[in-house]
Amino acid sequence: MVINQGQNGNPNQQQSPLDIDSIRSDFPILQRTVHDQPLVYLDNAATSQKPQQVIDAINRYYRESNANVHRGIHSLSDEATTLYEETREKVRQFINADTTSSIIYTKGTTESLNLVANAWGRKNLNPGDEILISSMEHHSNIVPWQLVARDTGATIRGIELTDEGCLDLDHLAESLNDRTRIVAITQLSNVLGTINPIGEITKMAHGAGAYVVVDGAQGAAHMPTDVQEMGCDFYAFSGHKMCGPTGVGILYGRRELLEEMHPFLGGGEMIEEVYLESSTYKDPPWKFEAGTPNIAQVVGLGAAIDYLNTLGMDKILAHESDLVNYTMHRLKYAEDITVFGPTGKRGGIVSFTLEGTHPHDIATIVDREGVALRAGHHCAQPLMRKLNVGSTARASIYFYNTTDEIDAFIRSLDKVREIFGDVPERTV
């Protein structure tokens, strides 16, 4: 197989709207080597790297303002509380929520989705009620609903996909009925790169009287997100996938729903009055934030949002769209590679298999070339079964990645072929 695409592979590749060299200098880890090779980090769907601005914000909090929030009278507690609540307002603006009382801090997307399933589901689901879950969901948006369905008598039904890996909206419409209570859907598939039309899905679900829970773990970090425009009832995402630290996430919920829900966790901070026999609880969001929170991580999340806003989410989306198109353009010439997901508009996630090679072997070999990929079922085993594969290799892109890095990734696959099979003839 002869490939002649010119120096950069795709002659239609456009100039990035971002100053990538300047951006990359903000990320200390991107300057390191792995196995004596420059690091090419393409595992961003698992977690993103952190700019110096976020690292400094966390360090500054511990150096200057470390204290517990809300309950203290002294200056350090007041400073910590201010930083903590300022981030809540930054989150509100970032996703265009109508009020900060709809913004709940959690440890991540997984806890956010468990919160909805338990605090809303256990109160409102009954035998015969139905929960619709798409076939592309991460386990975090499947298992919590299974546990609640088991205990409430509700039933889980799957929403099918098209042959290309998009949500089958016709099947969704056929599945919605007067027993449907929840539609749980990802904004952006962590395997297929599929971008789901949340606004359209929400209109369909609301028309049937159902609520919509959105897993935004892959979406919030990569595209402008407007929960009011989407119309969803709950939206969950994690800080660590958007340049923030691990250990902090967000659940957005419509205020009227949060007010009706029981607490998920009990303890300090979420109460008004406690008696031996009973307690009364604070209003949202504090009703759902029991105990000492991850304060430093919240501060880091605020710094990450500031960083992303400085770049501009529209520009981030444009750069990543160009880069995933470039990646798909390079891979389509390889006859021994199967790429899963839509061929048109998609997020910066490229899951693939290489003929005759296990994905774990791919990831191991390319790591020796400095390329960081993910291999496995990506916490999406129902989807793997539909794709008729046990696992895939996955390259996932973020705004600090470059076409040169994609070229290095493509070249690293030849190292895999050298070990497991013939290397296609190339001119690039």
List the end-to-end C-alpha distance of the chain, in Å, as a whole number: 12
User: Residue 260 belongs to a domain with what CATH number?
Assistant: 3.40.640.10
**Do 306 and 324 belong to one domain?**
no
**Do 326 and 267 belong to one domain?**
no
Q: Please check whether residue 8 lies inside any domain of the structure.
A: no
**Do 403 and 415 belong to one domain?**
yes
Nearest alpha-carbon partner for 373 in 326, 334, 416, 316: 416
The structural domain count of the chain equals 2
Nearest alpha-carbon partner for 222 in 37, 44, 378: 44
Place of tokens 């689901």: 125
Residue 306 burial class via C-beta count within 10 angstroms: exposed 0-12, middle 13-18, buried 19 and up? middle
Nearest alpha-carbon partner for 18 in 401, 301, 406, 404: 401
**Do 100 and 200 belong to one domain?**
yes
**Do 71 and 123 belong to one domain?**
yes
**Do 39 and 166 belong to one domain?**
no
> Is 100 within 8 Å of 239 (Cβ atoms)?
no
Q: Spell out the alpha helix ranges (H) of 289-380.
A: 295-311, 313-331, 359-367
Q: Please check whether residue 3 lies inside any domain of the structure.
A: no
SS3 169: helix
Q: Is 379 a catalytic residue?
A: yes
As a whole number of angstroms, the distance between CA 349 and CA 220 comes to 14
Q: Spell out the alpha helix ranges (H) of 241-312.
A: 255-260, 295-311
Q: Tell me the residue range of the domain where 46 lies.
A: 20-50+312-420
Residues in Cβ contact with 274 at an 8 Å cutoff, skipping those fewer than 6 apart: none
Q: Which amino acid is at 335?
A: E
- In this structure, the strands spanning 234-238 and 249-253 are antiparallel
Q: Please check whether residue 14 lies inside any domain of the structure.
A: no
pLDDT attached to residue 16: 87
Tell me the C-alpha to C-alpha distance, in Å, between residue 26 and each of 18, 44, 300: 13, 16, 15
Percent composition of the chain: helix, strand, coil (DSSP 3-state, to 5): 40, 20, 40
As a whole number of angstroms, the distance between CA 267 and CA 248 comes to 19
**Do 83 and 131 belong to one domain?**
yes
**Do 77 and 136 belong to one domain?**
yes
Nearest alpha-carbon partner for 198 in 223, 178, 181, 180: 223
Nearest alpha-carbon partner for 97 in 203, 217, 253: 253
Compute the radius of gyration of the chain from its Cα atoms.
23
Per residue, the 3-state secondary structure of 54-93, as one string, reads HHHHHHHHHHHHCCCCCCCCCHHHHHHHHHHHHHHHHHHH
Tokens at 344, concatenated: 């048109």
Tokens at 101, concatenated: 């009382």
Last residue of a domain, one of 257, 292, 310: 310
Q: What is the largest CA-CA distance in the chain?
A: 77
Q: Please check whether residue 9 lies inside any domain of the structure.
A: no
User: Residue 336 belongs to a domain with what CATH number?
Assistant: 3.90.1150.10
**Do 41 and 59 belong to one domain?**
no
**Do 289 and 320 belong to one domain?**
no
Last residue of a domain, one of 310, 332, 351: 310
Which residues on neighbouring strands pair with residue 374, listed in sequence order? Answer: 394
Q: Kindly state the DSSP code that residue 121 receives in the 8-state scheme.
A: I
Its pTM stands at 0.94
Q: Please check whether residue 388 lies inside any domain of the structure.
A: yes
Question: pLDDT of the chain along its 428 residues, tens only?
Answer: 222 233 344 444 568 899 999 999 999 999 999 999 999 999 999 999 999 999 999 999 999 999 999 988 999 999 999 999 999 999 999 999 999 999 999 999 999 999 999 999 999 999 999 999 999 999 999 999 999 999 999 999 999 999 999 999 999 999 999 999 999 999 999 999 999 999 999 999 999 999 999 999 999 999 999 999 999 999 999 999 999 999 999 999 999 999 999 999 999 999 999 999 999 999 999 999 999 999 999 999 999 999 999 999 999 999 999 999 999 999 988 999 999 999 889 999 999 999 999 999 999 999 999 999 999 999 999 999 999 999 999 999 999 999 999 999 999 999 999 998 765 544 34
113-147 burial, b at 16+ Cβ within 10 Å, e below that, comes to bbbbbbbbbeebbeeebbbbbbbbbbebbbbbbee
Q: Please check whether residue 278 lies inside any domain of the structure.
A: yes
Place of tokens 């996932």: 396
Q: Please check whether residue 86 lies inside any domain of the structure.
A: yes
As a whole number of angstroms, the distance between CA 170 and CA 163 comes to 13
**Do 209 and 178 belong to one domain?**
yes
SS3 236: strand
pLDDT attached to residue 344: 86
Catalytic option among 166, 232, 243, 379: 379
Nearest alpha-carbon partner for 327 in 244, 265, 413: 413
Last residue of a domain, one of 265, 292, 310: 310
Q: Please check whether residue 42 lies inside any domain of the structure.
A: yes
**Do 271 and 139 belong to one domain?**
yes
